[in-house]
Amino acid sequence: MTRALDTEKTVTKHLLTILDLPGQEAGRLLARAAQFKAGPDSSGLLSGKTVVLVFEKSSTRTRVSFEVAVRQMGGQSLLLTPVESQLGRNEPLKDTARVLSRYCDCLVVRTFGQEKLNILAEYGSVPVINALTDDFHPCQVLSDVFTMYERTPGLEDLRVAWIGDGNNMAHSWINAAAVFPFSLHLACPDGYRPRPAILERALDMGARICLGSDPAQAARGAHYLNTDVWASMGQEGEQSEREEAFRGFQVNEALLSLAAPGCGVMHCLPAHRGEEITDQVLEGPASLIFDQAENRLHMQKAILEWIFRA
Ligand code: CP
Ligand code: NVA
C-alpha cells in the first residue's frame, strides 16, 4: 500500500523561472489572474497551508502581495530574514531547506544567486517560488504579461521593448518571449547585455527577440515600453559608473513619441525618477505602472493555486 502510494506521489512543483511552467500553464495563469481580479472568492484555496517567505533582499510589492494573497486564500504566511534567523549566520542552505520543509508547505524566496534556489528545491521537499534573484524575477514578469493581456489579449501581435540593463527583469522578459507569442526588442548598453546563454535558450525555443544598443530602434513602433533601475539590489556600489553607461537609455517623452499610438509604459518598481524614467512619463497617461503593481496580488494567487493544485 505504502509502495503504491509512493509511486503515485506527484512531483513537487517549483517556479524558479517561468520556463518551469508546463505546456499551456503560463496562458492559464493569465486567465486565472483575470478571474481572481474580477473578484471570485479565493478564501479556502490555501486552507491549512503555511507559506514561509525567505527574503534576503528588501521588498515591498512582492512580500506584501504574497502575504496578502496567502491570507485572502485562507492560508498562513510568515517572513524569515537573515537578520533574525540563522540564515545570517551562514547555516548551510541544504539544512535550512530540510528543516523548513518539515514546518511549512511552500517557500517563497528572494535571494542573490539563482543556485541558492536550486539547493532549496533539491534538499527541501516543498515547492519553491522565486521571488527574485540576481538572474530572474518570474512572478513579476508573469504579472507584467498579465497587465498587457488585460489590455491586449492577442499577445502574438505585440511588440514589446526593453530599454536599459540586461538584468534579472530583462532575463525574465527574454524567458517570457519564449513562452508567450509577443516579439521582444531589447536595447542595452555594451557591457550590460543579457547573459548570452539565456538569450540563446529562448531563441532555440522559438522566441522572436532582437538585441541592440539603440533605444530609439527598440522603441520604434512598440506597443509596450519597459524599463528598470540602472543599478539593481546588490549593485549600489556601481551606481555612478552605471549612470554614465546608461545615459541615453531613459524612457522619456521623446522615446515614447517613437512608440506605437496607445503604447503602455511599464516598470516593475521601485523606480528612480530622472534616471531610467522621467517623472512625466511615470505619472503620465501611458503609464501602466501602478496597474502592474496591483496585478502582482492577482498573479500571486494564480501562481499559488497552480503550486498547490494536485
Ligand atoms: N517589483 C518588485 O519586486 O518590487 P519589490 O522589490 O518591492 O518586491
Ligand atoms: N532589477 C531590480 C528589480 C527590483 C524589483 C533589482 O533586482 O533590484
Asked if pLDDT for residue 106 goes beyond 50, the answer is yes
Q: What pLDDT, in 10s, does the model give residues 31-62?
A: 999 999 999 899 999 999 999 999 999 999 99
Q: What pLDDT, in 10s, does the model give residues 127-182?
A: 999 999 999 999 999 999 999 999 999 899 999 999 999 999 999 999 999 999 99
What is the set of active-site residues? Answer: 110, 137, 140, 228, 268, 296
pLDDT confidence bin for 202, thresholds 50/70/90: very high
Q: What pLDDT, in 10s, does the model give residues 66-100?
A: 999 999 999 999 999 999 999 999 999 999 999 99
Asked if pLDDT for residue 27 goes beyond 50, the answer is yes
The closest-lying atom of ligand 1 relative to the alpha carbon of residue 60 is 7
Q: What is the pTM of this model?
A: 0.96
Q: What percent of the chain stands above pLDDT 70?
A: 97
Q: Which of 60, 132, 268 to mutate to test the pocket of ligand 2 (most atoms within 8 A of CB)?
A: 132
Q: What percent of the chain stands above pLDDT 90?
A: 95
Q: What is the DSSP letter of 106?
A: E
Q: Residues with Cβ < 8 Å from 187, sequence gap 6 or more?
A: 161, 162, 163, 164, 212, 213, 214, 215, 217, 218, 219, 249
Q: 68-85: b or e for each residue (b if 16 or more CB lie within 10 Å)?
A: ebbebbebbbeebbeeee
Asked if pLDDT for residue 23 goes beyond 90, the answer is no
Q: How far apart are CA 223 and CA 158, in angstroms?
A: 6
Q: So what's the pLDDT on residue 10?
A: 67
What CATH fold (topology level) applies to the domain 18-136+295-308?
Rossmann fold (3.40.50)
CA distances from 298 to 69, 138, 227, 259, 304 (A): 8, 14, 22, 28, 10
pLDDT confidence bin for 9, thresholds 50/70/90: low
Which ligand is the nearest neighbour of the Cα of 242? Answer: 2
Asked if pLDDT for residue 277 goes beyond 90, the answer is yes
Average pLDDT over residues 245-253: 97
Q: Is the CB of 267 inside a 6 Å radius of any atom of ligand 1?
A: no
Distance from Cα 140 to the centre of ligand 1, integer Å: 8
In the chain, ranges of CATH 3.40.50.1370 domains: 18-136+295-308, 140-292
Distance from Cα 67 to the centre of ligand 1, integer Å: 13
* Prior bond of 270 cis (ω within 30°): yes
Name the closest-CA residue to atom 7, ligand 1: 60
Distance from Cα 250 to the centre of ligand 2, integer Å: 17
Q: Is the CB of 56 inside a 6 Å radius of any atom of ligand 2?
A: no
Q: So what's the pLDDT on residue 2?
A: 39
Cell numbers that stand for 178 in this block? 519564449
Q: Is the CB of 60 inside a 6 Å radius of any atom of ligand 1?
A: yes
Q: How far apart are CA 297 and CA 301, in angstroms?
A: 6
CA distances from 258 to 74, 87, 211, 253 (A): 46, 47, 18, 9
Which amino acid belongs to residue 274? G
Is CATH 3.20.20.70 correct for 140-292? no
Distance from Cα 3 to the centre of ligand 2, integer Å: 45
Q: 190-203: b or e for each residue (b if 16 or more CB lie within 10 Å)?
A: eebbbeeebbebbe
Distance from Cα 268 to the centre of ligand 1, integer Å: 7
Q: Average per-residue pLDDT in the chain? A: 96
Q: Is the CB of 130 inside a 6 Å radius of any atom of ligand 2?
A: no
Asked if pLDDT for residue 6 goes beyond 60, the answer is no
Q: Is the CB of 232 inside a 6 Å radius of any atom of ligand 2?
A: yes
Q: Which of 137, 144, 269, 277 to mutate to test the pocket of ligand 2 (most atoms within 8 A of CB)?
A: 137
Q: Is the CB of 268 inside a 6 Å radius of any atom of ligand 2?
A: yes
Q: So what's the pLDDT on residue 5?
A: 43
Q: Residues with Cβ < 8 Å from 60, sequence gap 6 or more?
A: 270
Q: What pLDDT, in 10s, does the model give residues 147-162?
A: 999 999 989 999 999 9
